[in-house]
Amino acid sequence: MVKLTTLKTLEYQVTGKNLYCLTVPAKYNGQRWYIEMEEKTINAIDTMLELHDQSLHQEWLGYKEGGMSSEGFAFQERLETPDGTIDLEDGSELVLSEQVTAPELTAIPLEEPTKQEIQKVLDQLLKEASKYHSDFLVSIEKWRVSSSESNYQKFNSRMTLYFVLVMSKRFGTIEEIDKELQEYEKTLDVMRQLLEFVKSHDEYKNTSHFFAKTHSN
């Protein structure tokens, strides 16, 4: 099983995302697994991979269609896992087993992070947000609109997740959280004003260049 980071676990808890283990009938010859390609098994794998690992789903489609494509060969290599477990991108699992006769789907419970682990994530989010804020100011000083917009969005994304986690995990008193939230909103408002100013200047500059070029012609 893929070891989820604390941040990913918290994001899954907040969004209500569930992880699953799909066990399908297969035979192992000592070197690789051979999936029993019955319709219900094929449909179950289709649904599982489409929802939990898009990249692997493309490999599976190549394998299902005959296995002669690069995607098909890539999936065949995955069938060489001795224990029959294929880890999916989001932490779910596809398990090949000789012990089942039909697909079986079970939920994988998420481990609750410790208070120390959560605090470490919150500190990291604030650190990343601070960097994006600094990068935003540098971009503003250099009149770089796209870079400013990107850093603005990244800052907002990190801080939004920070407050969602702080409130959902009850880190701090209501008064402390409210004070932090007000400071964040003030900072975001200033950033928004700076961004709009730089964008309007950029539009003015482009318009001026357009008219200057038009008149020169």
Q: Name 25's bridge partners.
A: 97
* 92: Cα separation from own chain's centroid: 14
Residue ranges, the chain, pLDDT below 50: 204, 206-217
For the segment 190-201, what is each residue's pLDDT rounded down to a tens digit?
999 999 999 887
198, 201, 203, 207: CA torsion to nearest 10:
-160
DSSP string, 128-182: HHHHHHHHHHHHHHTT-HHHHHHHHHHHHHHHHHHHHHHHHTT-S-HHHHHHHHH
Q: Which CATH architecture has domain 115-216?
A: Up-down Bundle (1.20)
Short-list 13, 5, 11, 88, CA closest to 49: 88
For the segment 78-114, what is each residue's pLDDT rounded down to a tens digit?
999 999 999 999 999 999 999 999 999 999 999 899 9
The structure tokens 């408002």 sit at 189
pLDDT at 189: 97
Query: Of all helices (H) and strands (E), which one includes residue 31?
Result: none
Model's pTM, two decimal places? 0.73
| Structural domain spans, the chain | 19-108, 115-216
